[in-house]
Amino acid sequence: MTMAALELGLAPKGNIKQNRRGRAGWAVYAVLVIGALAMIYPLIWMVLSSFKSDQEIFSNPAALPTRLDLDNYIQGWTAATPSFTRYFINSFAICLGAVIGNVFACSLVAFAFARLRFPLKGVLFTIMLLTLMLPSHALLIPQYVLYVGLDWVNTTLPLIVPKFLATDAFFIFLMVQFIRTIPRELDEAATIDGCGTFALFRHIIFPLLRPAIITTIIFTFIWTYNDFFSQLIYLTSPESLTVPVALRSLVDSSGGAYAQLLAMSVLSLVPTFVVFLVFQRRLVEGISTSGIKG
């Protein structure tokens, strides 16, 4: 179809609409690409600057590094005392405890809300959901006073033990929504075969919770690993610090060694990137499946 025909209105309306949709689609993609580049630019700049010297960072901040030098990574790894080996071990240990606690406790509580009958079930479920809107900072002082009385400050207990008490309402709600998608006929069949409440949870519900559990593991790991505020409050000795708090300490003690700080910041992002990339498909599957039924 020629341009003259289009101008005279002789072109089929379907082709005109299709052309308009095509142009609109390309415009949307262009905006998304520009937005993505704007968001990822700071990360790219940090990675490139981690290979530069301090002088080069300030003299040519937008330029590419003249050479790929790993000295910043080597020196930054041991710039703090103890080294970042200890900090990564501390972070992974806390993340492991938090993951186990959330999976164990939240799945049990979600099973109770989704399948069992007990007094004030609706009221308790509503209160649990209301805790999602409660700012964590509002609980900081009473929690700190409690942990001081228990002599838990400067230990990992305040960061791990609450997870075994199902304090993360988001994951409880996530699992409740998922359990509601599981047919109750499976419960009835298991009960006829002699399964009790805990056997039903262990052999029927928990294995089918795999997508929601993987989602819980991913979010718990990322949130716990990146948690700066709680770890700053409860971990005080240098040997107990985690990676986010160690990076903050490195800012105070680096004496202007910004290249080393950027190098350690890059390494601190590696675990979260790896976890997200490896489990990305499972994450989307768990979230989408959990929202099928209300």
DSSP secondary structure, 188-253, as one string: HHHHHTT--HHHHIIIIIHHHTHHHHHHHHHHHHHHHHT--HHHHHH--SGGG--HHHHHHHHHHH
Structural domain contains residue 112: yes
Predicted TM-score of the model (pTM): 0.83
> Is there a domain that residue 43 lies in?
no
Range of the domain at 200: 76-291
Q: In whole angstroms, give the CA distance from residue 219 to residue 236.
A: 26
What does the pLDDT read at residue 3? 47
287 within domain boundaries: yes
pLDDT tens digits, residue range 258-267? 888 899 999 9
Domain containing 83 — which CATH number?
Answer: 1.10.3720.10
**Domain contains 56:** no
For the chain, the domain total comes to 1
Residue 150 lies in a domain: yes
What's the CA gap between 124 and 135, in Å, rounded? 19
Of all helices (H) and strands (E), which one includes residue 18?
helix 13-49
Question: Would you say 158 and 152 are in contact if contact means Cβ atoms under 8 Å apart?
Answer: yes
Residues 210, 283: Cα–Cα separation, whole Å: 11
pLDDT band at 111 (very low <50, low <70, confident <90, very high): very high
* 3-class DSSP state of 157: helix
Q: Model confidence at 291, in pLDDT bands (50, 70, 90)?
A: very low
